[in-house]
A and B are shown apart, each in its own frame.
Chain A
Protein backbone atom coordinates (compact mmCIF):
# COMPACT_ATOMS: atom_id res chain seq x y z
CA UNK A 1 0.00 0.00 0.00
CA UNK A 2 1.31 3.47 -0.86
CA UNK A 3 0.73 6.58 1.26
CA UNK A 4 0.49 10.23 0.31
CA UNK A 5 3.33 12.59 1.26
CA UNK A 6 2.78 13.86 4.80
CA UNK A 7 5.21 16.80 4.81
CA UNK A 8 5.24 18.29 1.32
CA UNK A 9 3.99 17.30 -2.11
CA UNK A 10 6.25 19.75 -3.92
CA UNK A 11 9.83 20.87 -3.44
CA UNK A 12 11.65 23.30 -5.66
CA UNK A 13 14.92 25.22 -5.40
CA UNK A 14 17.36 27.12 -7.58
CA UNK A 15 21.13 26.85 -7.29
CA UNK A 16 22.97 29.20 -9.68
CA UNK A 17 21.87 28.04 -13.14
CA UNK A 18 20.30 24.80 -11.90
CA UNK A 19 16.62 24.27 -11.08
CA UNK A 20 15.54 21.35 -8.92
CA UNK A 21 11.83 20.55 -8.97
CA UNK A 22 10.17 17.57 -7.30
CA UNK A 23 6.51 16.54 -7.23
CA UNK A 24 6.07 13.92 -4.52
CA UNK A 25 3.20 11.46 -4.91
CA UNK A 26 4.24 9.00 -2.17
CA UNK A 27 5.63 9.39 1.32
CA UNK A 28 8.79 7.56 0.31
CA UNK A 29 10.44 8.64 -2.92
CA UNK A 30 13.36 6.67 -4.35
CA UNK A 31 15.80 8.54 -6.60
CA UNK A 32 18.06 6.18 -8.51
CA UNK A 33 20.05 6.15 -11.76
CA UNK A 34 23.42 5.60 -13.42
CA UNK A 35 26.58 7.10 -11.99
CA UNK A 36 27.27 10.75 -12.84
CA UNK A 37 23.66 11.66 -13.63
CA UNK A 38 23.32 14.30 -10.89
CA UNK A 39 21.89 12.46 -7.91
CA UNK A 40 24.45 13.68 -5.42
CA UNK A 41 24.55 17.22 -6.77
CA UNK A 42 20.76 17.31 -6.37
CA UNK A 43 21.29 16.20 -2.78
CA UNK A 44 23.75 19.07 -2.23
CA UNK A 45 21.18 21.60 -3.54
CA UNK A 46 18.53 20.22 -1.16
CA UNK A 47 21.02 20.22 1.69
CA UNK A 48 21.70 23.90 1.07
CA UNK A 49 17.99 24.51 1.72
CA UNK A 50 18.40 23.15 5.27
CA UNK A 51 19.78 26.59 6.13
CA UNK A 52 16.42 28.25 5.42
CA UNK A 53 13.89 25.42 5.65
CA UNK A 54 13.58 23.72 9.07
CA UNK A 55 11.46 20.92 7.55
CA UNK A 56 14.46 19.40 5.76
CA UNK A 57 16.97 17.00 7.29
CA UNK A 58 19.81 15.51 5.20
CA UNK A 59 22.17 12.58 5.67
CA UNK A 60 24.99 11.28 3.50
CA UNK A 61 28.21 9.27 3.85
CA UNK A 62 29.63 11.91 6.18
CA UNK A 63 27.10 10.60 8.74
CA UNK A 64 28.38 7.04 8.41
CA UNK A 65 29.44 6.83 12.07
CA UNK A 66 26.09 8.06 13.36
CA UNK A 67 23.07 6.02 14.44
CA UNK A 68 20.80 7.01 11.55
CA UNK A 69 17.79 5.10 12.85
CA UNK A 70 18.01 6.84 16.24
CA UNK A 71 18.39 10.26 14.61
CA UNK A 72 15.40 9.89 12.29
CA UNK A 73 13.25 8.39 15.05
CA UNK A 74 13.74 11.66 16.97
CA UNK A 75 12.35 13.72 14.05
CA UNK A 76 8.72 14.64 13.35
CA UNK A 77 7.24 16.43 10.34
CA UNK A 78 10.47 16.44 8.34
CA UNK A 79 11.45 15.65 4.78
CA UNK A 80 14.39 13.35 5.45
CA UNK A 81 16.77 13.17 2.49
CA UNK A 82 19.32 10.35 2.48
CA UNK A 83 22.12 10.12 -0.10
CA UNK A 84 24.51 7.14 -0.26
CA UNK A 85 21.59 5.06 1.01
CA UNK A 86 23.14 1.82 -0.20
CA UNK A 87 25.83 2.02 2.46
CA UNK A 88 24.08 4.21 5.04
CA UNK A 89 20.89 2.24 5.65
CA UNK A 90 20.93 -1.18 7.27
CA UNK A 91 17.93 -3.49 7.09
CA UNK A 92 16.67 -2.38 10.48
CA UNK A 93 16.66 1.30 9.47
CA UNK A 94 15.02 0.50 6.13
CA UNK A 95 12.26 -1.33 7.95
CA UNK A 96 11.81 1.62 10.32
CA UNK A 97 11.55 4.02 7.38
CA UNK A 98 8.98 1.87 5.62
CA UNK A 99 6.71 2.09 8.69
CA UNK A 100 7.43 5.69 9.76
CA UNK A 101 4.27 7.80 9.60
CA UNK A 102 5.83 10.93 11.20
CA UNK A 103 8.24 11.91 8.41
CA UNK A 104 8.57 11.89 4.64
CA UNK A 105 11.58 10.45 2.81
CA UNK A 106 13.63 11.06 -0.32
CA UNK A 107 16.14 8.23 -0.60
CA UNK A 108 19.00 8.41 -3.11
CA UNK A 109 21.19 5.54 -4.24
CA UNK A 110 21.73 2.74 -6.68
CA UNK A 111 19.50 0.08 -5.14
CA UNK A 112 18.16 1.91 -2.10
CA UNK A 113 14.76 0.25 -2.43
CA UNK A 114 16.29 -3.06 -1.37
CA UNK A 115 14.29 -4.04 1.71
CA UNK A 116 12.34 -0.76 1.78
CA UNK A 117 8.61 -1.41 1.43
CA UNK A 118 6.12 1.29 0.68
CA UNK A 119 3.50 1.80 3.36
Chain B
Protein backbone atom coordinates (compact mmCIF):
# COMPACT_ATOMS: atom_id res chain seq x y z
CA UNK B 1 0.00 0.00 0.00
CA UNK B 2 0.98 3.65 -0.23
CA UNK B 3 2.89 3.37 -3.46
CA UNK B 4 3.21 6.50 -5.55
CA UNK B 5 1.65 6.74 -8.95
CA UNK B 6 4.63 5.77 -11.03
CA UNK B 7 4.80 2.16 -9.83
CA UNK B 8 3.85 -0.65 -12.19
CA UNK B 9 2.88 -4.00 -10.64
CA UNK B 10 5.06 -6.86 -11.87
CA UNK B 11 3.88 -9.55 -9.48
CA UNK B 12 1.15 -9.63 -6.84
CA UNK B 13 -0.14 -12.49 -4.75
CA UNK B 14 -2.94 -11.92 -2.25
CA UNK B 15 -3.18 -15.66 -1.54
CA UNK B 16 -6.80 -15.95 -2.50
CA UNK B 17 -8.23 -19.40 -3.02
CA UNK B 18 -7.24 -22.62 -1.31
CA UNK B 19 -3.83 -23.44 -2.76
CA UNK B 20 -0.56 -21.85 -3.82
CA UNK B 21 -0.48 -20.14 -7.19
CA UNK B 22 1.64 -22.68 -9.06
CA UNK B 23 2.71 -20.06 -11.59
CA UNK B 24 4.39 -18.08 -8.82
CA UNK B 25 5.48 -20.53 -6.13
CA UNK B 26 6.50 -24.04 -5.29
CA UNK B 27 6.65 -25.48 -1.78
CA UNK B 28 9.77 -27.30 -0.62
CA UNK B 29 9.22 -30.91 0.35
CA UNK B 30 11.50 -33.19 2.37
CA UNK B 31 14.17 -30.50 2.25
CA UNK B 32 16.63 -29.91 5.06
CA UNK B 33 16.28 -26.28 6.10
CA UNK B 34 18.73 -23.69 7.35
CA UNK B 35 18.42 -24.56 11.02
CA UNK B 36 16.95 -27.60 12.75
CA UNK B 37 13.88 -27.80 10.58
CA UNK B 38 12.81 -30.02 7.70
CA UNK B 39 10.60 -28.35 5.12
CA UNK B 40 7.49 -30.32 4.22
CA UNK B 41 4.95 -29.14 1.68
CA UNK B 42 2.11 -30.21 3.98
CA UNK B 43 3.04 -27.36 6.33
CA UNK B 44 2.28 -24.76 3.68
CA UNK B 45 -1.36 -23.80 3.18
CA UNK B 46 -3.49 -21.02 1.73
CA UNK B 47 -6.66 -20.12 3.58
CA UNK B 48 -8.64 -17.03 4.54
CA UNK B 49 -6.65 -15.01 1.96
CA UNK B 50 -3.43 -15.82 3.80
CA UNK B 51 -0.31 -17.86 3.19
CA UNK B 52 0.21 -19.96 6.32
CA UNK B 53 3.60 -21.60 6.95
CA UNK B 54 3.32 -23.84 9.99
CA UNK B 55 6.09 -25.04 12.28
CA UNK B 56 5.32 -28.13 14.38
CA UNK B 57 6.80 -29.40 17.62
CA UNK B 58 9.02 -31.83 15.69
CA UNK B 59 10.42 -28.81 13.79
CA UNK B 60 8.87 -29.84 10.54
CA UNK B 61 8.13 -26.57 8.83
CA UNK B 62 7.76 -25.02 5.39
CA UNK B 63 9.22 -22.86 2.66
CA UNK B 64 7.95 -21.51 -0.63
CA UNK B 65 10.14 -20.23 -3.42
CA UNK B 66 9.81 -18.71 -6.87
CA UNK B 67 13.02 -20.48 -7.97
CA UNK B 68 12.63 -21.93 -11.44
CA UNK B 69 9.38 -20.02 -11.93
CA UNK B 70 10.15 -16.33 -11.63
CA UNK B 71 13.29 -14.34 -10.99
CA UNK B 72 13.57 -10.59 -10.68
CA UNK B 73 16.10 -7.82 -11.03
CA UNK B 74 15.64 -4.44 -9.38
CA UNK B 75 12.31 -3.16 -8.15
CA UNK B 76 10.28 -2.70 -4.99
CA UNK B 77 9.71 -5.93 -3.04
CA UNK B 78 7.22 -5.87 -0.20
CA UNK B 79 5.18 -8.29 1.88
CA UNK B 80 2.64 -7.87 4.63
CA UNK B 81 3.42 -10.51 7.26
CA UNK B 82 2.61 -11.51 10.81
CA UNK B 83 5.62 -13.23 12.33
CA UNK B 84 5.45 -15.73 15.22
CA UNK B 85 6.97 -14.95 18.60
CA UNK B 86 8.89 -17.76 20.21
CA UNK B 87 12.46 -18.47 21.22
CA UNK B 88 14.53 -19.83 18.34
CA UNK B 89 12.06 -19.08 15.59
CA UNK B 90 13.61 -17.76 12.38
CA UNK B 91 10.95 -16.65 9.91
CA UNK B 92 12.12 -14.87 6.78
CA UNK B 93 11.12 -13.09 3.58
CA UNK B 94 14.21 -13.12 1.40
CA UNK B 95 15.81 -13.40 -2.03
CA UNK B 96 18.58 -15.59 -3.42
CA UNK B 97 20.85 -15.48 -6.45
CA UNK B 98 19.30 -17.12 -9.53
CA UNK B 99 22.22 -16.62 -11.92
CA UNK B 100 23.22 -19.52 -14.16
CA UNK B 101 25.98 -20.60 -14.04
CA UNK B 102 26.21 -19.37 -10.48
CA UNK B 103 29.48 -17.48 -10.08
CA UNK B 104 28.20 -15.17 -7.34
CA UNK B 105 26.31 -15.59 -4.08
CA UNK B 106 23.84 -12.81 -3.43
CA UNK B 107 21.21 -12.77 -0.73
CA UNK B 108 18.75 -10.10 0.36
CA UNK B 109 17.07 -10.72 3.70
CA UNK B 110 14.20 -8.28 3.49
CA UNK B 111 12.94 -9.62 6.81
CA UNK B 112 14.96 -12.06 8.90
CA UNK B 113 13.56 -12.28 12.41
CA UNK B 114 15.59 -14.42 14.74
CA UNK B 115 14.44 -14.07 18.29
CA UNK B 116 11.19 -14.13 20.15
CA UNK B 117 12.40 -11.49 22.59
CA UNK B 118 13.25 -9.11 19.76
CA UNK B 119 9.95 -9.75 17.99
CA UNK B 120 8.19 -9.00 21.26
CA UNK B 121 10.24 -5.82 21.49
CA UNK B 122 9.29 -4.83 17.96
CA UNK B 123 12.76 -5.32 16.51
CA UNK B 124 13.05 -6.22 12.84
CA UNK B 125 16.22 -7.19 10.95
CA UNK B 126 17.43 -6.96 7.35
CA UNK B 127 20.66 -8.23 5.82
CA UNK B 128 22.65 -8.32 2.57
CA UNK B 129 25.21 -11.02 1.80
CA UNK B 130 27.25 -10.91 -1.39
CA UNK B 131 30.41 -12.38 -2.84
CA UNK B 132 31.88 -14.87 -5.29
CA UNK B 133 30.52 -18.40 -5.44
CA UNK B 134 31.63 -20.89 -4.36
CA UNK B 135 33.64 -19.52 -1.47
CA UNK B 136 35.14 -21.39 1.45
CA UNK B 137 35.06 -18.24 3.55
CA UNK B 138 31.43 -17.32 2.93
CA UNK B 139 30.16 -14.09 1.40
CA UNK B 140 32.70 -11.26 1.22
CA UNK B 141 30.10 -8.61 1.99
CA UNK B 142 27.82 -8.94 5.01
CA UNK B 143 25.72 -5.93 5.85
CA UNK B 144 22.53 -5.30 7.73
CA UNK B 145 20.63 -3.33 10.27
CA UNK B 146 17.58 -3.42 12.48
CA UNK B 147 14.83 -1.15 13.65
CA UNK B 148 12.80 -1.52 16.82
CA UNK B 149 10.12 -0.07 19.04
CA UNK B 150 9.78 -1.68 22.50
CA UNK B 151 6.11 -0.68 22.58
CA UNK B 152 5.33 -2.77 19.51
CA UNK B 153 5.07 -6.57 19.51
CA UNK B 154 5.56 -7.64 15.88
CA UNK B 155 3.69 -10.91 16.45
CA UNK B 156 0.41 -9.18 17.29
CA UNK B 157 -0.38 -7.73 13.88
CA UNK B 158 0.63 -7.59 10.23
CA UNK B 159 3.51 -5.34 9.26
CA UNK B 160 4.96 -4.35 5.91
CA UNK B 161 8.52 -5.37 5.12
CA UNK B 162 10.01 -3.85 1.97
CA UNK B 163 13.20 -3.40 -0.04
CA UNK B 164 13.88 -0.99 -2.89
CA UNK B 165 16.59 -2.56 -5.10
CA UNK B 166 18.28 -0.35 -7.68
CA UNK B 167 21.49 -0.44 -9.68
CA UNK B 168 23.24 1.74 -7.12
CA UNK B 169 22.08 0.00 -3.97
CA UNK B 170 19.22 -1.05 -1.73
CA UNK B 171 16.95 0.68 0.75
CA UNK B 172 15.03 -1.22 3.41
CA UNK B 173 11.68 -0.09 4.76
CA UNK B 174 9.54 -1.14 7.71
CA UNK B 175 5.87 -0.17 7.59
CA UNK B 176 6.70 2.35 4.88
CA UNK B 177 9.54 4.03 6.78
CA UNK B 178 13.11 3.89 5.49
CA UNK B 179 15.49 2.53 8.13
CA UNK B 180 18.59 1.27 6.28
CA UNK B 181 20.41 1.97 3.02
CA UNK B 182 23.35 0.10 1.50
CA UNK B 183 25.35 1.25 -1.54
CA UNK B 184 25.94 -2.28 -2.80
CA UNK B 185 25.58 -2.84 -6.54
CA UNK B 186 24.04 -6.28 -7.07
CA UNK B 187 22.88 -7.07 -10.59
CA UNK B 188 22.17 -10.80 -10.68
CA UNK B 189 18.59 -12.02 -11.04
CA UNK B 190 17.12 -13.24 -7.77
CA UNK B 191 14.23 -15.44 -6.73
CA UNK B 192 12.02 -14.85 -3.70
CA UNK B 193 11.37 -17.08 -0.70
CA UNK B 194 9.29 -17.23 2.45
CA UNK B 195 10.66 -19.66 5.00
CA UNK B 196 10.08 -20.57 8.63
CA UNK B 197 13.25 -21.96 10.17
CA UNK B 198 14.24 -22.99 13.68
CA UNK B 199 17.64 -21.97 15.08
CA UNK B 200 20.18 -24.64 15.99
CA UNK B 201 23.16 -24.51 18.38
CA UNK B 202 26.35 -22.97 17.04
CA UNK B 203 29.38 -25.14 16.27
CA UNK B 204 30.85 -23.90 19.54
CA UNK B 205 27.90 -25.39 21.38
CA UNK B 206 26.66 -21.97 22.40
CA UNK B 207 23.05 -21.03 21.71
CA UNK B 208 22.52 -19.00 18.55
CA UNK B 209 21.51 -15.40 18.36
CA UNK B 210 17.81 -15.68 18.95
CA UNK B 211 18.11 -18.60 21.33
CA UNK B 212 17.03 -22.18 20.96
CA UNK B 213 13.42 -23.23 20.52
CA UNK B 214 11.36 -23.58 23.68
CA UNK B 215 9.93 -27.12 24.00
CA UNK B 216 7.04 -25.70 26.02
CA UNK B 217 5.92 -23.44 23.17
CA UNK B 218 2.30 -24.23 22.26
CA UNK B 219 2.97 -25.60 18.77
CA UNK B 220 2.16 -25.23 15.97
CA UNK B 221 3.55 -21.77 15.28
CA UNK B 222 2.52 -19.86 12.18
CA UNK B 223 4.12 -17.40 9.79
CA UNK B 224 1.25 -15.62 8.03
CA UNK B 225 1.59 -13.62 4.82
CA UNK B 226 -1.27 -11.35 3.77
CA UNK B 227 0.15 -10.29 0.41
CA UNK B 228 3.40 -9.84 -1.51
CA UNK B 229 4.22 -7.75 -4.53
CA UNK B 230 7.00 -6.72 -6.87
CA UNK B 231 6.69 -3.22 -8.33
CA UNK B 232 8.83 -1.27 -10.74
CA UNK B 233 9.34 2.43 -11.34
CA UNK B 234 11.56 4.48 -13.61
CA UNK B 235 14.43 4.40 -11.14
CA UNK B 236 14.57 0.61 -11.44
CA UNK B 237 15.36 0.69 -15.14
CA UNK B 238 18.91 -0.24 -16.13
CA UNK B 239 20.83 2.97 -16.92
A pairs with B: no
Point out residues on A near B: beta carbons under 8 Å. Answer: none
